[in-house]
Amino acid sequence: MQVGPERFATRWGAGEYLWNRLAPLPADEVEGNPGLWAWLALFYFDQLAPRRADGTRRPGRDYRHVPDFDFRYR
For the stretch 12-58, pLDDT in tens is 999 999 999 999 999 999 988 888 988 999 999 999 989 999 999 99
* Residue-level pLDDT at 55: 94
Query: Hey, what long-range contacts does 63-72 have (CB within 8 A, 24 or more apart)?
Result: 65/38, 65/41, 66/34, 66/38, 66/41, 67/34, 67/37, 67/38, 68/34, 69/32, 69/34
* Distance between CA atoms of residues 21 and 2, nearest Å: 7
Tell me the pTM. Answer: 0.77
Under the banding of pLDDT at 50, 70 and 90, the label for residue 74 is low
* Residue-level pLDDT at 73: 65
Residue type, 12: W
